[in-house]
Amino acid sequence: MMLTILTFLPVAGALLMLIFMRGRPNAYKMTALVTTIITFAVSLYIAAQFTTGDASFQFQEDHSWIGNLGIHYHVGVDGISLLLVLLTTLLSMVAILGTWNSIKDRGLAFFISLLVLETGMIGVFVSMDLFLFYLFWEIQLIPMYFIIGIWGGARRVYAAIKFFLYTFAGSVLMLVAILAIVWWYSRHGGFLTFDILTLQKAGFNGTIALWSFAAFFVAFAIKVPMFPVHTWLPDAHTEAPTAGSVILAGVLLKMGVYGMIRFCIGFFPEVAVRAMMPVVILSVIAIVYGAAMSLIQPDMKRLVAYSSVSHMGFVTLGLFTFTVQGVQGAILQMVSHGILTGALFMMVGFFYDRTHTRLIKDYGGMARPMPVAAAFFSLFVLGSLGLPGLAGFVGEFLILVGSFQYYKVFAAVASIGIIIGAAYLLWMYQRTMFQQANEKWLSLKDLNAREIVTLVPLVGMAIWIGIYPHTFLNMVDAPAQNILTQVQPYLAQHGDGLVRMVSALFGGAK
Amino acid sequence: MSDAHLLVLSPYIALAATAVVVMLTTAFYHRHLLLAGLTATGLAATFACVLVAGAEDRRATALLRMNDVSLYFIGLLVVVALAVVALSYGYLGRTERRFGDFYTLLTLGALGGAVLAASAHFASLFLGLEVLSVSLYGLIAYPRRRPQAVEAAFKYLVLAAVTSAMLLFGMALVYAVSGTMLLDKVASAGAGLAGWEAAAYKAGLALVFAGVGFKLALVPFHMWTPDVYQGGPAPVIAFLAAASKAAVFVVLLQSLAPLDPQRGGVLVVVLSVVAYASMLAGNLLALFQQNLKRLLAYSSIAQLGYLVVAVVSSGAAGGARGAGTVAVAFYLTIYALALLAAFGVIAVLAHAEGEPEALSQYRGLGHRRPALALVLSVSLLSLAGMPLTAGFIGKFFIFRAGAGAAQWGLLVVFALTSAMSLYYYLRVIITMYRLEVAPYAAALATSPGGMSAGRRAADRVAVAALVLLTASTLLLGVYPPVLLRLIEHAASVFR
């Protein structure tokens, strides 16, 4: 029952607000906040009860739902999904507290959208039935569309529609793939089922595996977003209100990677191994390209958005190295990117609330009126550029270690991305916080208590992951090993050939 | 004629009796509430008859074949007609002074549809179609002081008359060479023919198909749809879109049922081409529509295209026939629910001068009439196939049927055009929830208070009906087994 409670708590809170609290901003804001706090507490409780080191799914619930189609309400978590659920509940709480006063018009609908979004996101991570997964995957699109399209910036409708069309095109492809593999399984010795665990053992091969992998992969690559299909992200991020950007960067992008782990690799390990090379190349392009684009952005939010492209490139790079370090690093990088980029968007939001501009050139010398904000900002900037001791470093380091074993050249190119990352983040920090002070902003108030309380958990997490990542690595160790055991036989078959090809191409042999 | 026959035919008897009673009452007591109440009672009685008529596959007369599929669709037609009565009551009260003929025509239209749903013979097919169409001419032109409505009715009249002529000629050709007018024999009658006879047979079938295609507004026979949808009164268009298309579609489904899929090669090709064209044209033309009624017209062209995908798949070999029929029956139901709700919202918002058509008139509706905006949003999301609405389950079934028949090309287009359709549906929804309010929507805020007690009651009836439709859409989206059991049982006649 715990997972069901966790999933539907936010919606229950939203219903309460809708029925009893129309037109009473303080009441519904407080209810929204309390709901997310309780949800976070429940997820912590689940984490406390969770047995680490066990690769199997825990807290499972399984009920028949649409029986004659083999559709079940089946939920459960393993280490990876639990970690992402924790990230979701934490960031939802932070997002609501952080945008307490930013939404002036129709706040009720806004906070309800956020809560529905939370249910959708948790649902995606706990679903163990493909149908249920798809359902939640689609559900979270609608509130996000509204959040961008109604409460967003000047070009909100354009950004919202672009966001929707990209992700929906992806999810339609995914639906085709889901039905194709379900149909294939029911034809080839199986029965009609959407159960993820059953289908993982089905051993898809040949054409069906290739095409389904491709469809799943494109759907998730759009969400991540990977290099050629990333163009919706800067617009969506820039136009979304602060809470929207935090959730989008913090959690929604992770759903893409989660899908790749669960389905692309889980269902079709052989095709995944064959696809290693192209994915690694696209990831490296994303790393460098995203970083280079960040360098020239005049808008702080756009800069952070492009840095997400770069950082998510590290995640896919690590995942598709199929090494222990790479995969663990990828998962850890997801969490730390969620925390740090979420925090950066939150900071930009706090500045925007005061100045109503996001352009770097409008700022300058902000450290003088807002020293506390500048201190927090520096911590997140340093974390994001990969300073040892903070969250960003651990994941990127593990990923580079993992990829260096196979792809020396690519690891080297990817580390250029880190260097550019330091450049654009520090440069932005310098231009906004230091340099000549803009007279207009000298009278601005520093962060208030609510804003500081919002940021403290993020700081705590950034330091915790940076100094003692073992807590989190332990959680994902067993499932990560599980992924590797799945691909191992195919790696032996195709992998060596790939490595030899790379070596021949680039010289740096193992 | 035995008692069993009477029982099977009881829905028709009830419908016809309702039409006569309403017509006679109109002549003596022209009270709106009484007429609407009588019609609703008659329709409810018909629904009861449908429930008790519970049929095995038996030929009630030479012309009608009553099986569970036809019964299901007659039930659906009656429910649609009931919803249209609930919507029309307020609509007519606001826009018209004569009411009686409207309900007579509506009941007759339902009767025509019911005949179609069970027709087993060219004669009953033609009769049903004509009864349905002729009542629709009258219904569309009912607001006769509104030139757009009269224009729409004439457009429909001329095209439908041409279609009927084609249909008749096609039937004549088929009968001339095959000697049969029974639908289940017609399909296989072409086997032994050669030379000019085979050519005449094929031409005849093509003409019949064109006739059916016109009624369903499939591409390339769709030209009339946007104009008629735009000009006609909203409740009537709801009936036209939901009931008349469902009735004609059953004919398509039932007459293709005995068709051998292996030899149906040409037909499968023709249907596939029509499906591709309808899905693409409907969705592409809807993309940039600024008129909600025209948008719904194009969207319904696309929806019918989706349905043809299911029909094509139901023609496949193996056990997939049941899957295709289930998909069609379920999808037609949820399509009817969604279109009724969408046109119902337009009907509730209409006043004596006309109906709100331009999308810009809906700006800010979400703040002025939240219930109506919610109803329209849910029905549009259902048409788009969003999860948790019935539309998703419907599309899911079409997918399943298509995958079972390995129609991957159709499925890919189906998937992509569905994705595309979200663009225009969401455009409507976001317009309704825009922060600024259009003058039209702004005027609405004051009108419910300024209404007379009777009008407010009528408004409430319509809104209650809409909420019921929306609730069913959501219920079927969350827990489809409630309806699925019924449909799967009905579809088992084709196994």
Share of chain B above pLDDT 70, in %: 92
Rounded Cα distance between B460 and B89, Å, is: 11
Question: How high is the ipTM of this complex?
Answer: 0.73
pLDDT at B321: 56
Among the partner-chain residues A164, A172, A180, the one whose CB lies closest to the CB of B416 is: A172
Mean pLDDT of A104-128: 90
Sole residue written with tokens 């798809």: A134
Q: Give the model's confidence band at B269: pLDDT under 50 very low, under 70 low, under 90 confident, else very high.
A: confident
Q: Give the model's confidence band at A338: pLDDT under 50 very low, under 70 low, under 90 confident, else very high.
A: very high
Q: Give the model's confidence band at B70: pLDDT under 50 very low, under 70 low, under 90 confident, else very high.
A: confident
Q: Which residues contact A115 (CB under 8 A, 6 or more apart)?
A: A10, A11, A13, A14, A17, A32, A35, A36, A92
pLDDT at B251: 84
C-alpha dist (Å) from residue A278 to A275, A321, A331: 6, 11, 20
What is the tens place of the pLDDT at every residue in B242-265? 988 899 888 888 776 544 445 556
Best residue in A7, A11, A15, A69 to probe B by mutation, most B CBs within 10 Å? A69
Sort B3 into a burial class: Cβ within 10 Å, 0-12 / 13-18 / 19+: exposed
pLDDT at B494: 59
CB < 8 Å to B428, chain A: none
Share of chain A above pLDDT 90, in %: 32
CB < 8 Å to B318, chain A: none
Hey, CA dihedral for A377, A382, A385, A389, is it positive or negative?
A: negative
Whether B424 has a pLDDT exceeding 70, the answer reads: yes
Pick the residue from chain B with its C-alpha nearest to A67: B481
Peptide bond into A489 cis (omega under 30): no
Contact A372, A447 (CB under 8 A): yes
Q: Which residues of A215-228 are buried (b: 16+ CB within 10 A; e: fewer)?
A: bbbbbbbbbbbbbe
Contact B388, B474 (CB under 8 A): yes
Pairing verdict, β A58-66 and A71-77 = antiparallel
A414 CA: distance to closest CA in chain B (Å): 35
Whether B62 has a pLDDT exceeding 90, the answer reads: no
pLDDT at B55: 59
Cβ A172–B484 below 8 Å, yes or no? Answer: no
A169 and chain B in contact, CB less than 8 A: yes
Three-state DSSP at B386 gives: coil
Q: Give the model's confidence band at B284: pLDDT under 50 very low, under 70 low, under 90 confident, else very high.
A: very high
From chain B, which residues contact A within 8 Å (Cβ)? 381, 386-388, 392, 396, 399-400, 403-404, 411-412, 415-416, 418-419, 422-423, 426-427, 430, 433-435, 479-481, 484, 488
Cβ A183–B403 below 8 Å, yes or no? Answer: yes
Cβ A142–B386 below 8 Å, yes or no? Answer: yes
CB < 8 Å to B403, chain A: 179-180, 183
What is the tens place of the pLDDT at every residue in B76-123? 999 999 999 999 988 888 887 788 789 999 999 999 999 999 888 899
H or E element, residue A171: helix A156-187
Which neighbouring-strand residues pair with B291? B358
Average pLDDT value over all residues in chain A? 87
Whether B318 has a pLDDT exceeding 80, the answer reads: no
Share of chain A above pLDDT 70, in %: 97
Indicate the residue type of A448: N
Pick the residue from chain A with its C-alpha nearest to B420: A165
Where exactly are the structural domains of chain B?
A: 256-495
Cβ B387–A106 below 8 Å, yes or no? Answer: no
CB < 8 Å to A161, chain B: 423, 426-427
A214 and chain B in contact, CB less than 8 A: no
Please list the helix, strand and coil fractions of chain B in percent, rounded to the nearest 5, in that order.
Answer: 80, 0, 15
Rounded Cα distance between A310 and A292, Å, is: 9
Among the partner-chain residues B423, B434, B488, the one whose CB lies closest to the CB of A68 is: B488
CB < 8 Å to B427, chain A: 161
Best residue in A63, A68, A164, A172 to probe B by mutation, most B CBs within 10 Å? A172
CB < 8 Å to A150, chain B: 430, 433-435
Whether A442 has a pLDDT exceeding 90, the answer reads: no
Whether B297 has a pLDDT exceeding 90, the answer reads: yes
A172 CA: distance to closest CA in chain B (Å): 6
Where exactly are the structural domains of chain A?
A: 289-510
Q: On the CB side of A488, how many CA atoms lie within 13 Å of its CA? A: 8
Cβ B412–A183 below 8 Å, yes or no? Answer: no
A176 CA: distance to closest CA in chain B (Å): 7
Mean pLDDT of A171-196: 84
Tokens linked to B49: 């008859």
Interface A-B, measured as beta-carbon pairs within 8 A, has a size of: 66
What is the tens place of the pLDDT at every residue in B462-487? 899 999 999 999 999 888 888 888 88
What is the tens place of the pLDDT at every residue in B322-337? 677 888 889 999 999 9
The 3-class secondary structure across B173-206, one letter per residue, is HHHHHHCCCEHHHHHHHHHHCCHHHHHHHHHHHH
CB < 8 Å to B412, chain A: 176
Among A249-253, B45-49, B155-159, B416-420, whose mean pLDDT is lowest? B416-420
Whether B449 has a pLDDT exceeding 60, the answer reads: no
Closest of A263, A344, A272 to residue A311, by C-alpha? A344
pLDDT at A508: 44
Cβ B415–A172 below 8 Å, yes or no? Answer: yes
Cβ A173–B415 below 8 Å, yes or no? Answer: yes
Cβ A176–B412 below 8 Å, yes or no? Answer: yes
Average pLDDT value over all residues in chain B? 85
Tokens linked to B99: 């009411």
pLDDT at A510: 39
Cβ B423–A164 below 8 Å, yes or no? Answer: yes
Query: What size, in residues, is chain A?
Result: 510
Among the partner-chain residues A68, A157, A168, the one whose CB lies closest to the CB of B422 is: A168
CB < 8 Å to B396, chain A: 179
H or E element, residue B212: helix B195-216
pLDDT at A389: 85
Pick the residue from chain B with its C-alpha nearest to A164: B423
pLDDT at A460: 92
pLDDT at A507: 47
Whether B282 has a pLDDT exceeding 50, the answer reads: yes
Residue by residue, DSSP assigns B42-90 as HHHHHHHHHHHT---SEESSSSBEE-HHHHHHHHHHHHHHHHHHHHHHH
CB < 8 Å to A168, chain B: 419, 422
Which residue has better confidence, A169 or A327? A327
Among the partner-chain residues A65, A135, A176, the one whose CB lies closest to the CB of B387 is: A135
Q: How many helices (H) and strands (E) does chain A have?
A: 23, 2
Contact B328, B312 (CB under 8 A): no
pLDDT at B317: 45
A207 and chain B in contact, CB less than 8 A: no
B66 CA: distance to closest CA in chain A (Å): 27
C-alpha dist (Å) from residue A340 to A4, A251, A417, A466, B125: 29, 12, 17, 11, 68
pLDDT at A464: 92
H or E element, residue A328: helix A324-355
Supply the angle between the helices B32-52 and B3-28 in degrees, to the nearest 10.
180
Report the predicted TM-score, pTM, of the whole model to 2 decimal places. 0.83
